[in-house]
Structure 1
Amino acid sequence: MKSPVFKVGMVFADVVELRKALTAYSIRNRV
């Protein structure tokens, strides 16, 4: 998951996937 793109209504397989995506996103975009 290099640069996840978030869209309204996205569904993640589980909380772990969601956390990975959020972590990758925050690192990439320095949120």
Structure 2
Amino acid sequence: TEQIDLSNNAKGIYLIKIKSNDFVKVSKLIIE
């Protein structure tokens, strides 16, 4: 598993793109 530490990020909406061989996933992350 991959962990991203966002505790010191600004609030807002982030789009995270995860790419592996022939697979792309875009996750929407909302920090309030």
Q: Is the structural similarity TM-score above 0.5?
A: no
TM-score (norm 2): 0.24
Q: Which has the higher contact order (CA 8 A, sep 6+)?
A: 1
TM-score (norm 1): 0.24
Q: Could you say which structure has the higher strand fraction?
A: 2
Q: Could you say which structure has the higher helix fraction?
A: 1
